Amino acid sequence: MSKKFLYEYERPTREHWAILGFSWAGWVFDFYNLILYTFLLIEIGKEFHVTDVELGIVHAASLAATAIGGILFGYLSDIYGRKPVLQWTILIYSIGTALCAVATDIWQLLILRFVAGLGIGGEWAVGQTLVGETWPPKMRARGAALMQSGVPVGVAVASLVGGFVSPVIGWRMTFFLSSLPAFMVVFIRKGMPESDLWLHFREMLHRGELPDEWAERLGRNPLIRIFDKEIIGSTAKGLLLATFGMYAYWFIFSWLPKCLSEEMGIGLAGSGLWVFISQMGALIGYLSFGPIADRIGRRPAFTIFSLTQAVSIFILMHMISVFAKNPIYALIPLFFMGLGTGFFSGYGPLYTEIFPTHVRTTAAGFCFNVARGLSAVAPIVVALVAVQWGLSGAISIAAMFNVMLALFVWAFPETRGKVLKAVEKP
DSSP secondary structure of 186-227: HHHHHH----HHHHHHHHHHHTT-S-HHHHHHHTS-HHHHTT
Quick one: which H or E segment has residue 110? Answer: helix 106-134
Closest CA to 33 of 162, 144, 185: 162
CA–CA distance, 58 with 72 (Å, rounded to integer): 21
pLDDT score recorded for residue 1: 44
CA–CA distance, 266 with 259 (Å, rounded to integer): 10
Which whole-number Å values give the CA distances from 244 to 186, 310, 365, 421, in the listed order?
A: 36, 12, 16, 30
Is the CB of residue 142 less than 8 Å from the CB of residue 17?
Answer: no
CA–CA distance, 185 with 250 (Å, rounded to integer): 29
CA–CA distance, 54 with 195 (Å, rounded to integer): 42
* Four-residue CA torsion sign, 376, 380, 385, 386: positive
pLDDT score recorded for residue 83: 94
pLDDT score recorded for residue 89: 93
pLDDT score recorded for residue 355: 93
Residue type, 402: N
pLDDT score recorded for residue 373: 78
* Four-residue CA torsion sign, 86, 156, 163, 393: positive
CA–CA distance, 334 with 318 (Å, rounded to integer): 13
Is the CB of residue 386 less than 8 Å from the CB of residue 262?
Answer: no
Q: List b or e across 108-124, with b for residues whose CB sees 16 or more CB atoms inside 10 angstroms.
A: ebbebbbbbbbbbbbbb
CA–CA distance, 202 with 207 (Å, rounded to integer): 8
Residue 376 backbone phi and psi in degrees, to 5 = -60, -25
Q: In 10 A of CB 17, how many CB atoms?
A: 13
Is the CB of residue 131 less than 8 Å from the CB of residue 20?
Answer: yes
Is the CB of residue 254 less than 8 Å from the CB of residue 56?
Answer: yes
Is the CB of residue 181 less than 8 Å from the CB of residue 95?
Answer: no
CA–CA distance, 290 with 301 (Å, rounded to integer): 9
What is the SS3 assignment for 329?
helix
Is the CB of residue 148 less than 8 Å from the CB of residue 20?
Answer: no
* Four-residue CA torsion sign, 304, 308, 311, 314: negative
Angle at the Cα of 153 (from 327 to 197), degrees rounded to 5?
150
Query: Which burial class, exposed, middle or buried, applies to 265 when counting CB atoms under 10 A from its CB (0-12, 13-18, 19+)?
Result: exposed
Query: Which burial class, exposed, middle or buried, applies to 215 when counting CB atoms under 10 A from its CB (0-12, 13-18, 19+)?
Result: middle
Residue 272 backbone phi and psi in degrees, to 5 = -60, -40
Measured distance between the N- and C-terminal CA atoms of the chain, rounded to whole angstroms: 22
Is the CB of residue 6 less than 8 Å from the CB of residue 134?
Answer: yes
Q: Which runs of E-coded beta strand occur in 275-416?
A: none
Domains and CATH numbers, the chain: 7-411 (1.20.1250.20)
Closest CA to 70 of 335, 353, 362, 351: 362
Residue 419 backbone phi and psi in degrees, to 5 = -90, 130
pLDDT in tens, the chain (426 residues): 457 899 899 899 999 999 999 999 998 998 898 888 888 888 898 999 988 788 888 888 888 888 889 889 988 998 899 999 999 999 999 999 999 999 999 999 999 999 999 998 888 889 989 999 999 998 999 998 899 888 888 877 887 898 789 989 999 999 999 998 888 888 898 889 999 999 988 888 778 777 766 656 666 677 788 888 889 999 999 999 999 999 998 888 777 877 777 777 666 556 667 777 787 898 899 999 999 999 999 999 999 999 999 999 999 888 877 877 787 888 888 899 999 999 999 999 999 999 988 889 899 989 988 888 788 788 888 888 888 888 888 888 999 999 999 999 999 999 998 888 877 765
CA–CA distance, 109 with 89 (Å, rounded to integer): 19
